[in-house]
Chain A
Amino acid sequence: MSQPQQSTVRNRLLKALSRDDFALLQPHLELISTELKQTLIAPNEPVRQLFFPESGYCSLATQASGTGKVEAGIIGREGGIGATPVLLGADRTPHHCFIQAAGEMLAIDTPAMCAAFDRSPSLRKVLLRFVQVQFVEAVHTAFVNARYQTEVRLARWILMSHDRGDSDELAMTHDFVSMMLGVQRTSATIAIQALEGNRLIKAQRGRLTVLDRKGLEALADDSYGMPRLSMPA
């Protein structure tokens, strides 16, 4: 299979690299297809590969004993999955990374990535910038979860998913939405119905369709805008 070319990659981190830095990674990048709910990084197990989404996106979820998972972040083509633990010197993470929207990703083995980091400070700098974005976003998620009601959190989460997808249609059950927001499924259903009542989304079995993005942004207000500004262009 031919190697990915920087001129045609869609991942924004890979696009942001210098030509030399991309050349360091290029021989090691492998294009893979992802499936819904596929685990990319299992909690507390060594991170064997990093992933740069070309399309689709993944959820970063945290789990406490005896309760379900709650989502702490979404990574799509603006970022790299596994970059945070590996770049910060950890060989594993307590978080579960799994596919929320299927697509394609460029995968690279951890040792190859680490060797490239060691050779190039400018490569490290681009990826550390993403680590900072992810940190800012995670702290903002904590703020939003403490401060905002479910309807606003749902609007924010739909916008974050919509940002990372290629379609107005998002495949998700109410059960999945409830897990992502850390609320009961009934609460997810009520919030979905509220947004649908305001004609912001259309809900059908197993999917939500964005009808009025501006309206969702108005509802999400401060909960959504800030971390977006800190994303690399």
Chain B
Amino acid sequence: MPRYFLSLRHRPGVNGLAVDHEGDELTDETLVRAHALHVARQMITQDRLAIIRDWKECSFEITDEAGQHVMTVPFTEVVLNEGDG
């Protein structure tokens, strides 16, 4: 199964990219997008990080095993339900 790497862009510049070296095994790019949105939603609603000023500025920059860019998934695409933090 192909492995995709979800690096997080949280601000401009080299220090603003949290590089994913471990990756996730996912069958295809439709699932990659769904997984990225799921993780983003979990992060927005549950995780607290001092360095993140605004989740709306964050996006996943997703690459494949060859290091090629696959897609960018902005956190603004996450749909929050009523009651989500």
Name A's B-contacting residues (CB within 8 A): 149-152, 173-175, 183-187, 189-191, 193-194, 197, 205
Most-contacted residue by chain A among B10, B20, B22, B43 (CB, 10 A): B22
Are B22 and A174 in contact (CB-based, < 8 A)?
yes
Most-contacted residue by chain B among A174, A185, A186, A197 (CB, 10 A): A186
A186 to B10, CA, bound (A): 11
Partner of B22, one of A151, A184, A185: A185
Note all chain A residues with C-beta closer than 8 A to B60: 186
Are B18 and A184 in contact (CB-based, < 8 A)?
no
Most-contacted residue by chain A among B10, B43, B60 (CB, 10 A): B43
Are A150 and B48 in contact (CB-based, < 8 A)?
yes
Are A175 and B8 in contact (CB-based, < 8 A)?
no
Cβ distance A38 to chain B, nearest Cβ, rounded Å: 22
5 residue pairs of the A-B complex, CB under 8 angstroms, read A150-B48, A152-B50, A173-B22, A189-B20, A205-B21
The total of interchain contacts (Cβ-Cβ below 8 angstroms) comes to 57
Which residues of B from 27 to 60 have beta carbons under 8 Å from A?
39, 42-43, 46-52, 60
Are A149 and B18 in contact (CB-based, < 8 A)?
no
The 9 closest A-B pairs by CB, nearest first: A187-B47, A190-B18, A189-B18, A149-B48, A149-B50, A183-B47, A150-B49, A193-B18, A186-B8
Partner of B39, one of A152, A174, A184, A193: A184
Q: Is B81 an interface residue (CB 8 A)?
A: no
Note all chain B residues with C-beta closer than 8 A to A187: 43, 47, 49
Q: Is B15 an interface residue (CB 8 A)?
A: yes
Are B20 and A151 in contact (CB-based, < 8 A)?
no
Residue of chain B at shortest CB distance from A186: B8
Note all chain A residues with C-beta closer than 8 A to B8: 186, 189-190
Residue of chain B at shortest CB distance from A192: B18
Are B52 and A190 in contact (CB-based, < 8 A)?
yes
Q: Is B19 an interface residue (CB 8 A)?
A: yes
A184 to B45, CA, bound (A): 11
Residue of chain A at shortest CB distance from B39: A184
Cβ distance B2 to chain A, nearest Cβ, rounded Å: 18
Note all chain B residues with C-beta closer than 8 A to A205: 21
A185 to B19, CA, bound (A): 11
A151 to B18, CA, bound (A): 14
Partner of A149, one of B20, B22, B46, B49: B49
Residue of chain B at shortest CB distance from A151: B50
Cβ distance A194 to chain B, nearest Cβ, rounded Å: 5
Q: A190-B8, A193-B18 are in contact. List 11 more A-B contacts (CB 8 A).
A: A150-B50, A174-B20, A183-B43, A185-B20, A185-B22, A186-B60, A187-B43, A187-B47, A187-B49, A190-B18, A205-B21
Most-contacted residue by chain B among A150, A175, A183, A190 (CB, 10 A): A190
Note all chain B residues with C-beta closer than 8 A to A194: 49-51
Note all chain B residues with C-beta closer than 8 A to A173: 22
Query: A175-B22, A193-B18, A197-B15 are contacts. A186–B52 as well, Cβ < 8 Å?
Result: no
